[in-house]
Structure 1
Amino acid sequence: MVRAAVLMRQGEPLEVRDIELGDPGPGQVRVRVAAAGVCHSDLSLANGTLALDMPAVLGHEGAGTVVSVGEGVDRVSVGDPVVLNWAPACRACWFCEQGEPWLCVHAEERATHPYARFTDGTPVYPGLGTGAFAEETIVPQQGVVPIPADFPLEQAAVLGCAVLTGNGAVHNTARVRAGQSVVVIGLGGIGLSVLQAARAAGAGPIIGVDVSGSKASLAAVHGATDFIVADDKTSKAIRGLTGGRGADHAFDCVGLPATIRASWGSSRRGGTVTVIGVGSRTSPVEFNALELYWFGRTLHGCVYGSSDPDVDVPRLLDEVAAGRVDLAALATDSTDLTGVNAAFEHFGQGGRTIVRF
C-alpha cells in the first residue's frame, strides 16, 4: 500500500488515500519518491483548467530512488537516484525524429491508462503520467533521468519541471544572448528559474514583474535587476527601463490573456515574446492584424522549455555545480502530502513548495 494525494473530482480538494501499485511491468520502473514540487499545472488539473482522467494522483515534478524494475529495463538499476520526466519521448514519432522530443505525440499517453487501484478495485490514473504526489510511483523507464548518487533529491525535484521549463525557455526557445534585456511576468517557480537563466546568459536589464510587491526581494535573489508591481502601466514602466523601446525578450509565466498582452506590450519592436504559462482553451487572446505586421515581434509557445531531459538535466547539473543555477533558492516552502491543498491556496506567495516524503 502507498499513500498518495488523489484528485477524485475537479474543483474539490485532493484526498490522501491508500493506493495499490503492484509490480512494474516490462519496461517500467518503480520509484520511491523523496520529494515533489507543487507546480501550477497541478492546480490547473485540480481546478479543471486542464482535462484528465480521474481519480488521479497528481504531481509531476519529482525525484526519488529506483526500488524495482520490470523486464527489459536497461536505463537504470535498483538504488539509482532519478529525476522524473513527465513527458517521456518515444524517440520514433515525426516530432522526435525532427529533434523536438518535447512535442512527442505519445508523451501524454501514459496519463490515460490506469497505473494503480484503490483497495476496492477502482482504477487510479497517474496525473500527467507521473503521479509524484505519492510515496512511490511507477513510470516507464524513459520517464526517469539518472542523476549522481550524492546529489540532494529534495533539490533535484525542481529540475523535473520548474528548472527544465524556465531555464529551457531562456536557452532553448528564446535563445537569450548576453546584453539583451529581459522581462519576466509572474514570479513563481518557473518565473524565478527564468530569472536565474537570464542572469546566467548575461542578460540585462532583467526586470521581474508580479502582482505581489512582496516578491521584490525574492526576484533580486534570483537575478532581477529591477522589479515592477503589475498594473495597467506595466508596459510603460518597462519601456522606461529599456531606452523607451521595450524589452528584447518578454516571458509570460502566467498564461492569462492579460499577462500575454502585457508581455506583448512590454517587448520592443522586433522583440520576442515567449509564453510559458499554461492557460485555458476558453481564454482567447486578441491581436489586430496591423500590430502583428507593424511590430514585427515573434510570439513563441513554449512546451517544457523546448527541453530534452536526457540532454538538459546533465547540462543543468553542470550549471548547478558552476553556481549558475541555485536549486535550493527555488524551494521557499515545504510540506507533506496533507499540505498540498494549502500549497494550492497559497500560489503566488513564494517560489516552489516541496512535498517531502
Structure 2
Amino acid sequence: MQTIKAALCREFNAPMTIEDVQLRAPEMGEVEVELEAVAICHSDISFWQGGFGGQVPAVFGHEAAGRITALGQGVHGLKVGDPVCVTLIRACGHCDCCGSGMPTICETPFDAVAQSPISLPDGTPVMQAMASGAFAEKMVVDQSQVVAIPDSIPMDAASLISCGVITGVGAAVYASEIRAGDDVVVIGAGGVGLNAIQGARIAGARRIVAVDLVPEKLEAAKEFGATDVVSAEGKPWKEVKQVLGRGADAVLVTVGAAPVYDMAPRYLARGGRIVMVGMPHGDKTSSYSPLIMADAGQGIVGSKMGNVVVKRDIPWMVDMYQQGRLKLDELISARWTLDQINEAIADTLAGQARRNVIMMK
C-alpha cells in the first residue's frame, strides 16, 4: 500500500475534501498511473450529485492522462514510463460484446467497492467511481483502460481524449453512422457537443447545425465545424428545418436533460435517427410517439463512449490532432489544481466551460 492524496467525496452533493488515501499495488493485468491531467466531465458531476447511484466515500474522475509507474503481472504492450490516456472503458475481452467489437458495453461486471484498489487509512473501502478514481495523484486500473500515446502530445490535451473527445467524435463517426452528404443536428455545444460537431465534419456531413441556449457556445460551435447555429429558445426544430430544407438524418443529443430528448424527434427527417449521448440522472424519463416514429422509419440508438475501441481509436485521434484536423487545445477553458476541485466543478456547473482540467503537476 502507498499513501496518495485524492479528492474524496464523503457526502453526495457536498464539497469534496483533499485527503490521504491508501492505494494498493497493481495486481494481475493492472496498471498504476501517476496522473498529470484530469478533465472534469459532467458524468463526474452527476455521480457526485448522487444522480447515477453509487455510494460514498468515493473518488470520482475518469478523463485522465499520465505516466505508468508500475505494472502487474500479465500486462502486455505497456511499460513503466509510458505516457498514456486512461479511460473508464474496462473491457474483459472475452464476453459477447467485447468479442463483437463493442468493448464500451462489456458484459463482465465490475464492483467499484469490492474490487476498488482505494481505501481509507483505517481500511474502509473507497468506491473507485467508473472503475477509475482519477481525482487523485495516482490510480490503478485494468490494462484494457490504458492506451499509450506519444511523448509529444501535451497531457492536458491528451486527458480530453479519454472521454469527451472519444464520446463526441465516436458518437458521430460510429454510433450515428453518418455518411457523406448527411445533414446533422447536434443539440448542446458543450465539451461533448463540440466534439460531436468535429466528428460530423470528419464523417463528411453536408450541413451541421448546432443548437444551444448560450450564444457564446453557438459561436464556439462554428469554430469547431458547425455550418449553421440555432438558438434553443422556442421551437428550434422549425428553424433547423428551414436551414436544411428538410429534417436531419441524425440528431445527436449531447446534453443530459430529459426534456431535450422529448423534443429530439421533431428535428428528424424520414428515416432519420436520434443518437443518445448525454445522460440525464437515472430518475428522469422521456416520451415520444412510437406510431409517428415507426411510420417515418425513424430510430433511437444509444451511444456509450462513442462506441469506440480505445486501442484503435485513441491513436487515430491523436494522429488527427497532430495533423491539425482535430481540435483539442481549444477545448480547454481553464486549468486548476487538485486543491481547487470544488471551484472547478462550480465553474463547470455555471455552464460556460468547454472543459476544465485539473493539472496534477
Paired residues, number: 356
Once the two structures are TM-superposed, the CA of residue 111 in structure 1 deviates from its matched residue by 5.8
Q: Which runs of 4+ in 1 moved over 3 A?
A: 107-112
What residue number does 1:345 align with?
346
SS at match of 1:273: strand
Q: Distance in 2 between matches of 1:199 and 1:274?
A: 16
What residue number does 2:281 align with?
280
What residue number does 1:227 align with?
229
Q: Contact 2:114/2:125 (CA < 8 Å) preserved in 1?
A: no
SS at match of 2:35: strand
Alignment of 1:82-231 (within 5 A): 82-106=84-108, 108-110=110-112, 113-231=115-233
Q: Once the two structures are superposed, what CA deviation does each residue of 1:130-181 show, in whole Å capped at 9, x if it has no partner?
A: 1111111111222211112222211110111011111111111112122211
Structure 2 regions of 5+ residues with no counterpart?
A: none
Change in CA separation of 1:335 and 1:39 when aligned onto 2, cut-off 3 Å:
same
Q: Contact 1:234/1:262 (CA < 8 Å) preserved in 2?
A: no
Q: Once the two structures are superposed, what CA deviation does each residue of 1:312-352 show, in whole Å capped at 9, x if it has no partner?
A: 11111222123221111111221111332233323321211
What residue number does 2:271 align with?
270
Once the two structures are TM-superposed, the CA of residue 238 in structure 1 deviates from its matched residue by 0.8
SS at match of 1:9: coil
Q: Contact 2:197/2:221 (CA < 8 Å) preserved in 1?
A: yes
Q: What is the TM-score normalised by the length of structure 1?
A: 0.95
Q: Distance in 2 between matches of 1:289 and 1:70?
A: 50
What residue number does 1:356 align with?
359
What residue number does 2:296 align with?
295
Q: Once the two structures are superposed, what CA deviation does each residue of 1:178-210 show, in whole Å capped at 9, x if it has no partner?
A: 221111111121111011111222213211111
Change in CA separation of 1:295 and 1:257 when aligned onto 2, cut-off 3 Å:
farther
Q: Aligned pair 1:32/2:18, yes or no?
A: no
Match for residue 20 of structure 1 among 19, 22, 29 = 22
Q: What is the TM-score normalised by the length of structure 2?
A: 0.94
1:262 is aligned with what amino acid? M
Q: Aligned pair 1:309/2:315, yes or no?
A: no
Once the two structures are TM-superposed, the CA of residue 261 in structure 1 deviates from its matched residue by 2.4
Q: Distance in 1 between matches of 2:5 and 2:132?
A: 15
Q: Once the two structures are superposed, what CA deviation does each residue of 1:231-260 show, in whole Å capped at 9, x if it has no partner?
A: 2311111111110x2212110001322111
Q: Distance in 2 between matches of 1:22 and 1:178?
A: 49
Change in CA separation of 1:112 and 1:274 when aligned onto 2, cut-off 3 Å:
farther
Q: Contact 1:255/1:275 (CA < 8 Å) preserved in 2?
A: no
Q: Aligned pair 1:47/2:49, yes or no?
A: yes
Q: Contact 2:7/2:59 (CA < 8 Å) preserved in 1?
A: yes
1:328 is aligned with what amino acid? D
Q: Distance in 2 between matches of 1:183 and 1:20?
A: 46
What residue number does 1:258 align with?
259
1:238 is aligned with what amino acid? V
Q: Distance in 2 between matches of 1:297 and 1:204?
A: 20
Percent identical across equivalent pairs?
34
1:29 is aligned with what amino acid? V
Structure 1 regions of 5+ residues with no counterpart?
A: none
What residue number does 1:6 align with?
8
Change in CA separation of 1:289 and 1:155 when aligned onto 2, cut-off 3 Å:
closer
